[in-house]
Structure 1
Amino acid sequence: MKFNYIVIEREYASGGTEIGKRIADILDIPCYGKEIPEITSQRTDISVERILELEENATGSLLYSLSRMTSFMSGNNREINAFESVIIEEMETIRKLSGNGPAVFVGRSAAKVLADRDDVLKVFIHASNDFREHRGMKVYKVCRSEIKETLKKYDKRRASFYKENFGTDWKNYADYDLVLDSSVLGIEKCAAVIAECAK
C-alpha cells in the first residue's frame, strides 16, 4: 500500500469509528480506536476504567508529556503524574501496534504519535449537524433533548485537547491529507474513497 497507516480524526457522531472499521475490512487490516485503552490496560497495571477517567478529565499537557517521554523511557526516574503516565502508555501502545504492520487508527491523536513516518494518511471526517444529531440519537442513544449539547461538548473537548496539547486547530483542514463530509458521501462511500487512496 502507498500508505500503511490511516489515521482518522472526526467530529462526534460523524461516523468516523464505523468508517475506520469498514476501511479495515476492505483492506483486511486491523482497526484500533476504543481498543487502545483496553490494550494499554493489558500491558500495564492501569484499569480501563481508570484510563478512560483520566482521559475524560485530562488537564495535563501532552506536549509536556512528550518532552519528558524520552527521559522516562530511557530510565530517568523522575516522578510523572497519572495523566502523563496514561498518555505515555497509550502512545507506546500505538507505536507497538504500528510495529505489527498496516492499520487504521481512529482518534487518540495517532497522527501525532506517528508523525515521524511518511506512510501515514491523515483523514478528517465531518458532517452536517442534522446528520450527527440523528446518528447520535440512533447509535449512541443520546436523548433528543440533550443531543445538541452533547455534540457541542464532545467537539469542544476534542478541539481544546488539540489546542492545549499541540497548539493547533483540530479542524485545520490543511493538517489533513483528506477531508470528507460523511453526510454527503455516506459512510460506505467515505470508507471506499479512503481505502482507495491508501492503496
Structure 2
Amino acid sequence: MGQFIISVGREYGSGGHEIASRLAEKFNVPLYDRNMLDQMAERNGIDAEELHKHEETKRQGLTRTVRGHSSSVQDQIAQLQFDFIRNKAESGESFVVVGRCSENVLRGFPGLISIFVRGEEEAKTERICRLYKLNKLEAKAKMFRHDKKRKAYHNYYSKMKWGDSRGYDFCVNSSLMGVEATADALYTMISDYLKNKAEQ
C-alpha cells in the first residue's frame, strides 16, 4: 500500500474528530490535529498555549504583508500548520489530519482522501451536552460559535467553501449511524479504495 493521507473536515459536535482518531488507529498511522502545534512549540521553544489561542482562527484587524510574510499572528500560525502538513505529505508519510484546510492545502497529492463529517442539529447538541456537561441552550451556542469560527477560517484560507460537497471525496452524516459505525463504514470504503488502487 502506497502513501495515503486522510483529511477530515467536520462540523462541531458531529464526532468528526473521534472518527479521525478511529481511522488513524485502524490504519495504524499518526493523527495530526492541535497536537501539531505542541510539536512546533517544542521545536521552536515557544509557549504552546500562545499558539493554541490562535489556531483555526482567521486574520483579525489590520496587518501588513512584507515580501509575502504577514504580520498577523493568525496568518503565521495558519502557515506554520500548512507547512507542517505539507512537509509530512512530501516526506511520503501516511497520516490522518483534522481540519487546518488540509483538503485544500494538500490538493494535488495523489494519496489524498478528503472527508467532511456533518450531523443533525439535535444529535450534535446532545453530544455536546454530554461531553461538556452543558444544557441545550449552552450547547447550541457553543456549536454555533465554533462552526462560525471554523467556516470563517476555512473560507479565508481556501478556494473551496467549508462543507461544500464538491470539495471533498466523501461527505457523511454521522447522525445516521452514529460515530463508531460511521468510522467503521469509512474505514471499509477507504480500505477497499486503497486495495483497488494498489492492484491497478
TM-score when scaled to structure 2? 0.82
Structure 2 residue identity aligned to 1:54: H
* Greater CA drift, 14-23 or 111-120: 111-120
How far the C-alpha of 1:13 sits from its partner, in A, is 0.8
**Counterpart of 2:21?**
21
Structure 2: 5+ residue runs without aligned partners? 192-200
Which SS does the other structure have where 1:183 is aligned?
coil
TM-score when scaled to structure 1? 0.82
Given the superposition, is the C-alpha separation of residues 43 and 116 from structure 1 closer, same or farther in structure 2, using an over 3 Å criterion?
Answer: farther
How far the C-alpha of 1:191 sits from its partner, in A, is 1.2
**Counterpart of 1:39?**
39
* Greater CA drift, 173-182 or 49-58: 49-58
Match of 1:166 among 158, 169, 173: 158
Match of 1:176 among 168, 172, 180: 168
CA distance in 2, matches of 1:173, 1:57: 22
1:50 aligns with 2:53: no
Which SS does the other structure have where 2:115 is aligned?
strand
Q: Higher relative contact order at CA 8 Å, sep ≥6: structure 1 or structure 2? A: 1
Structure 2 residue identity aligned to 1:155: D
Give the count of matched residue pairs.
Answer: 187
**Counterpart of 2:195?**
none
Question: After superposition, what is the alpha-carbon deviation per residue over 1:100-140, rounded to whole angstroms, capped at 9, x for unaligned?
Answer: 62111111222222123021110000111111011111123
CA distance in 1, matches of 2:132, 2:161: 26
**Counterpart of 1:75?**
none
Structure 1: 5+ residue runs without aligned partners? 69-77
Structure 1 residue identity aligned to 2:48: V
**Counterpart of 1:9?**
9
**Please, what is the CA RMSD of the aligned residues?**
2.5
**Counterpart of 2:75?**
84
CA distance in 2, matches of 1:29, 1:150: 31
How far the C-alpha of 1:20 sits from its partner, in A, is 0.7
Which SS does the other structure have where 2:8 is aligned?
strand
Q: Which runs of 4+ in 1 moved over 4 A?
A: none
